[in-house]
Structure 1
Amino acid sequence: MKKLRYSFGLLALALTFLSSCRDSVEPNVPYTTFDTGAYLRTIARTSVDFQSANLANSTFALTLEAVDIEDGATVETVEIMVRHRRLITGVGLDYTPENGDASVTTIPASAFGPDPSGKSRFLRTSFVVTAPEAISAVGLTAADIQKGDVFEFRLILTDKKGRKFHSGNVTTNVAGAPFYDSPFQYFVDVE
């Protein structure tokens, strides 16, 4: 009988001890000091290629949404870079310029504004780069462009802290997932 009372007492003590435990109020991750990033969600792409027969009127155009902790307000600039690529049979890819991308234009923070439809809280912007602007930026002329050439456009988002977000430091989930749709890199074929 004494063993039964002793066992019952231990069980009661264990239940009291376990029921008195509670979760900590503070989270394990310090969200108040958590460093967040930014990305540019592609809302619309209104052109997919340059027409070789009509380069003067061909364009590359996007509508972008700046997604960050302040609904797009941390964006300082978005630089649009371009590079020309041609596949040469038996040789490989030939890039112009050879040493990297050329700057086409820079979108300032003031170009971002509220979504006109009111469906999103994030700031948006749209831009258009003409084929002649892209060709000139890489140092070529319209006579140098052939069908099958590709223009690689890259976006570099700089936030107010001076951090840069681009295709070289974005994860595959953010770049390719349908929700994020933020590749920071777009290919425009010459048809």
Structure 2
Amino acid sequence: MKKIIIAFMFLAMVSCETEIIDKIDVFALQTGAYMRTVAPWPLNVANGIVFSKAGLAAANVKMTIEAVDPQQGSTLSSYDLTVRFVDNTPANGTMSKAYTALESLPASSFTKDAASGYPRRDLTFTASNFMTKLGLTAADISSGDSFEVLAVMKLTDGRSFTDVNSGAEIKGGAYYKSPFFYRIAINP
């Protein structure tokens, strides 16, 4: 019986084909970059940021952003922002506006943070700046409308990252906090 089992095991080992799988070269994998929102957090990006219609002239949101890549943020070329207006209240006319250039933040406008080692800067969105860029007045804007800001992180190697080519964890995860898209709702 013992000889039969040994013979069976030998036949099983000889008849098995194995494919050798190459190891993954982790250094050949491409990695991306993202613009991390450092403060304030939690910035309510999932549900949007809110401007008050009553305080539209002074409405703003401020945040600190940090450029993150495998080279401590050194491949950042620029962080380009565009804005559009979505008119959800046609009672005062249809004033929706297409995306237009808002601001381009060059890498030179970022400063290396001593604690994290990554370049940071403050970013402020103001309703008055949005209205100027889009040719709107306060009378064109009603509660229920919104502004939408899209961001593109451009790298020195020609690649760019947006809300379209970034994963859910990067855009809204607890650590990465890099939405690349900001919706600012107008409330009463």
How high is the TM-score relative to the length of structure 2? 0.76
Please tell me whether Structure 1 or Structure 2 has the larger radius of gyration of its CA atoms: 1
**Match of residue 166, structure 2, among 158, 167, 170:** 170
1:181 corresponding residue in structure 2:
177
Question: How far did 1:95 drift?
Answer: 7.3
Q: Partners of 1:95 and 1:60 in 2: how far apart?
A: 23
* Number of residue-to-residue matches in the alignment: 167
Aligned-residue CA RMSD (Å): 2.8
* Large movers: runs of 4+ above 3 Å: 45-48
Do the aligned partners of 2:60 and 2:127 also contact (CA within 8 Å) in 1?
yes
1:52 corresponding residue in structure 2:
53
**Match of residue 37, structure 2, among 42, 49, 58:** 42
Partner letter of residue 134 of structure 2?
V
Q: Structure 2 unaligned runs (5+)? A: 14-21, 44-48
Q: Percent identity?
A: 31
Do the aligned partners of 2:81 and 2:149 also contact (CA within 8 Å) in 1?
yes
How high is the TM-score relative to the length of structure 1? 0.75
Question: How far did 1:123 drift?
Answer: 1.6
1:135 corresponding residue in structure 2:
131
| Matched residue SS, 2:64 | strand
2:17 corresponding residue in structure 1:
none
Do the aligned partners of 2:89 and 2:144 also contact (CA within 8 Å) in 1?
no
| Matched residue SS, 2:108 | helix
2:141 corresponding residue in structure 1:
145
Task: Output aligned runs, 1:41-190, within 5 Å.
Answer: 41-45=36-40, 48-88=49-89, 96-97=96-97, 100-115=98-113, 118=115, 120-190=116-186
Question: How far did 1:149 drift?
Answer: 1.4
Do the aligned partners of 1:81 and 1:105 also contact (CA within 8 Å) in 2?
yes
**Which has the bigger relative contact order, CA under 8 A and spacing at least 6?**
2
